[in-house]
Amino acid sequence: MKIFSESHKTVFVVDHCPYMAESCRQHVEFDMLVKNRTQGIIPLAPISKSLWTCSVESSMEYCRIMYDIFPFKKLVNFIVSDSGAHVLNSWTQEDQNLQELMAALAAVGPPNPRADPECCSILHGLVAAVEALCKITEYQHEARTMLMENAERVGNRGRIICITNAKSDSHVRMLEDCVQETIHEHNKLAANSDHLMQIQKCELVLIHTYPVGEDSLVSDRPKKELSPVLTSEVHSVRAGRHLATKLNVLVQQHFDLASTTITNIPMKEEQHANTSANYDVELLHHKEAHVDFLKSGDNHIGGNSREGTFKETVTLKWCTPRTNSVELHYCTGAYRISPVDVNSRPSSCLTNFLLNGRSVLLEQPRKSGSKVISHMLSSHGGEIFLHVLSSSRSILEDPPSISEGCGGRVTDYRITDFGEFMRENRLTPFLEPRYKIDGSLEIPLERAKDQLEKHTRYWPMIISQTTIFNMQAVVPLASVIVKEAMSDEDVLNCQKTIYNLVDMERKNDPLPISTVGTRGKGPKRDEQYRIMWNELETLVRAHINNSDKHQRVLECLMACRSKPPEEEERKKRGRKREDKEDKSEKLGKDYESDKPWQESERLKGLLDREKEELAEAEVIKDSPDSPEPPNKKPLITMDEMPTVEKAKGPMSLLSLWSNRINTANSRKHQEFTGRLNSVNNKAELYQHLKEENGMETTENGKAGRQ
Average pLDDT of adjacent 10-residue blocks, the chain of 706 residues = 79 94 84 62 81 95 95 94 93 93 94 87 95 93 78 85 94 95 94 90 95 90 94 94 94 94 82 70 93 66 48 84 60 92 91 89 77 87 90 61 59 84 86 74 84 89 86 89 89 92 88 64 78 90 89 90 60 59 54 50 61 52 44 46 48 86 79 75 76 54 42
Please give the helix or strand (H or E) that residue 511 lies within, else none: none
Q: Tell me the H-state helices in 21-116.
A: 51-69, 98-108
Can you state the angle between helices 548-561 and 488-507, rounded to 10 degrees? 10
Per-residue pLDDT, 12: 97
Q: Is 337 left (phi over 0), alpha (psi -120 to 50) or beta?
A: beta
Our separate counts of H helices and E strands in the chain read 18, 18
Q: What is the pLDDT of residue 567?
A: 55
Report the pLDDT value the prediction gives residue 230, as an integer from 0 to 100.
95
CA dihedral (646, 651, 655, 660) positive or negative: positive
pLDDT value of position 499: 92
Is residue 684 within 8 A of residue 698, CB to CB? The reply is no
pLDDT in the model for residue 646: 44
Q: Which residues pair with 285 in a beta bridge?
A: 258
> Which among 67, 78, 162 has a CA at the least distance from the CA of 123?
162
CA 252/CA 247 separation, integer angstroms: 9
* pLDDT reported for residue 586: 53
Q: Which CATH number fits domain 9-28+46-255: 3.40.50.2300, 1.10.8.620, 3.40.50.720, 3.40.50.410?
A: 3.40.50.410
pLDDT for the residue 659: 87
Spatial distance between the Cα atoms of 160 and 170, rounded to a whole number of angstroms: 19
Q: How far apart are CA 129 and CA 9, in angstroms?
A: 11
Amino acid 674: pLDDT = 75
Locate the domains of the chain by residue range. Answer: 9-28+46-255, 258-303+310-389, 414-429+439-516+524-566
d(CA 565, CA 328): 77
Judged by phi (left if over 0) then psi (alpha if -120 to 50, else beta), residue 240 lies in left
Sign of the C-alpha dihedral computed for residues 485, 489, 491 and 497 taken in this order: negative
What's the pLDDT score for residue 623? 42
